Amino acid sequence: MSLKSKSAVVTGSTSGIGLAIARALAKEGANVLINGFGKPEDIEKERAGIEAEFGVKAIYSGADMTKPDQIAEMIALAETTFGAVDVLVNNAGIQFVSPVESFPTEKWDQIIAINLSSAFHAIHAAVPGMKARGWGRIISTASAHSLVGSPFKSAYVAAKHGIAGLTKSIALELATNGITVNCISPGYVWTPLVESQIPDTMKARNLTREQVINDVLLAAQPTKQFVTVEEVAAVVVFLCSDAAKQMTGANLSVDGGWTAA
Ligand code: NAD
């Protein structure tokens, strides 16, 4: 399978899952627009690295996913530079954990904006071009929290359930346009963010590294293993293939069995 001559926009791709998705799509030959925050020199290293390693065009947009106008500009930049946005991956996301009565209103608004509304704005901007070309792949990074709840994560769980609903609705709308719309729901994914929490948790709870991983982080994950960013990216690549053209409106779990329980 090759995505040569295709172009992709991946939001929140300066680190973690999004970066792995951008790299996996570039490996298949797609030009990619990467997006997100970070140190300019680190972002430039990733961007230039993608071009050098995979022989594709890679550009960067610093669009803030809380700003609808910047999201529209990001899609327009990709269309102008590459000639199309064939693959849109809505991946940017943040987390905030707090009891509901002390959950800050601005954090609620920020999570709904980044984790949910940004997907609507990007889809809104990218669909006209996809419809005109009669081909498109829209994939959103949801979460196990699009299927089940957890206490103290009201905004995140609401936003991720919203992504699952948005996916179904847009999939039905675009079903006859050659455009598939799906979301992927990872469980706990091994990212630098997760890894860096382990030493502090070991100290705070007086636990070994293995106890932190199995009894704290992976308590909900039956395989007792983290999902890797590459495993999530591989599902994105599959959804872009012709073999997946009848898969639309789906919510694909990659969660070590979490939501089977
Ligand atoms: P991460 O923190 O490594 O990456 C998040 C990305 O989003 C970064 O590139 C960051 O710069 C970007 N971002 C944050 N706010 C932004 C904004 N306002 N505008 C533009 N970009 C912004 O996290 P990750 O673990 O790779 O998470 C990526 C996605 O996967 C998120 O939607 C997250 O909810 C989801 N997810 C993560 C896990 C996990 O265990 N790590 C599990 C399930 C789902």
pLDDT digits (tens, 9 = 90+) for 209-220: 999 888 888 998
How confident is residue 191, by pLDDT bands cut at 50, 70 and 90? confident
The dihedral through the CA atoms of 241, 247, 250, 254 has a sign that is: negative
Of 69, 113, 70, 68, nearest in space to 92 by CA: 113
DSSP 181: E
- Count the domains in the chain: 1
The CATH number given to whatever domain includes residue 75 is 3.40.50.720
Burial of 104 (0-12, 13-18, 19+ CB in 10 A): exposed
pLDDT tens readout for residues 88-118:
999 999 998 899 999 999 999 999 999 999 9
**Is 28 a domain residue?**
yes
The atom of ligand 1 lying closest to the CA of 227 is 40
Q: Which amino acid is at 180?
A: T
54-68, 143-157, 207-221 — which is least confidently predicted? 207-221
153: Cβ contacts below 8 Å, ≥ 6 apart: 95, 96, 97, 145
Expressed as residue numbers, the domain containing 236 is: 7-188+228-254
| DSSP states of 128-147 | HHHHHHT-EEEEEE--GGGT
Q: Whose CA is nearest to atom 41 of ligand 1?
A: 189
Percent residues over pLDDT 90 in the chain: 88
Q: How far is the CA of 174 from the centre of ligand 1 (A)?
A: 26
Output the CA angle 202-209-254, nearest 5 degrees.
110
Q: Which residues line ligand 1 (CB under 6 A)?
A: 12-18, 35-38, 64-66, 91-94, 114-115, 141, 143, 186, 188-189, 191, 193-194
Strand order of the β-sheet with 251-254 is 58-61, 31-35, 7-10, 87-90, 136-141, 179-186, 251-254
**Is 74 a domain residue?**
yes
